[in-house]
Structure 1
C-alpha cells in the first residue's frame, strides 16, 4: 500500500505507476521496497462460525446487572462492538444468563 506525498490519500497501481485517486499525484513504483510489503491476497480472512458448544457460560464474557426484556432476570453477559462510524460510541450486546435472550443497547 502506498500513500500520496501530496494529500495523504491511498494510491493505487495504474500501469506500473502509483496514482492518487484524490489529487492525481503520480510517482514511480519502487519494486525493491514493495517486496517488503505484506498483502492479504490469498489469505483466509473468514474462518467461518466458531463452535461455542463446549465453552462454559462463565468463560464467555463478563456479566453485568441489567434487566432481561424477556424473563426479567437481572444478570446478562455482554460484549462491546463498534458497528457504526469510529467517532461514535460502541454498541453493547447482551445475552441473558437465565433464558439466553439476546438484545442490544444503543447510545440514543
Structure 2
C-alpha cells in the first residue's frame, strides 16, 4: 500500500505509476519497494475480536431507555470497559427486558 505525498490518500496502481484518485498526483512504481510490502498472503488472521458481554457479573442497573424498536423498557444493566489504548472507558448496556445490547455513544 502506498500513500500520496501530496494529500495522504491511498494510491492505486495504473501501469507503471502509483496514482492518487483524490488529487491526481502520480509517482513511479518501485519494484523493490513493492516487493517489501505486506500482502494478504503474508498476513495472519486472528479471527473475529472478542465481544464484551455487558451482562456478565453486572447486577447494577440504571435508567436508560432501550433503543430497540419493539421494547419500551427504561432499565438496563451496564458495565464500564477500558477502550483499547487506555485513553478512556466505554459504557456497555444490556436491556433488562429484551436483552438488547448497545454502547454509550
Normalised by the size of structure 1, how large is the TM-score? 0.49
Counterpart position of 1:37: 37
* Bigger relative CO (Cα 8 Å, ≥ 6 apart): 2
Gapped regions of structure 2 (runs ≥ 5): 66-72, 84-88
Over the aligned positions, Cα root-mean-square deviation in angstroms equals 4.4
State how 1:1-108 maps to structure 2 within 5 Å: 1-40=1-40, 47=47, 57-58=56-57, 65-67=61-63, 70=73, 72=75, 75-77=77-79, 92-95=91-94, 101-104=99-102, 107=105
Distance 2:20 2:31 in 1: 18
Structure 1: runs of 5 or more not aligned? 82-89
**Counterpart contact for 1:63–1:77, Cα < 8 Å:** no
**Number of equivalenced pairs:** 89
TM-score (norm 2): 0.50
Using a 3 Å threshold, how does the CA distance of structure 1 residues 15 and 101 change in structure 2: closer, same or farther? same
Runs of 4+ in 1 over 6 A off after TM superposition: none
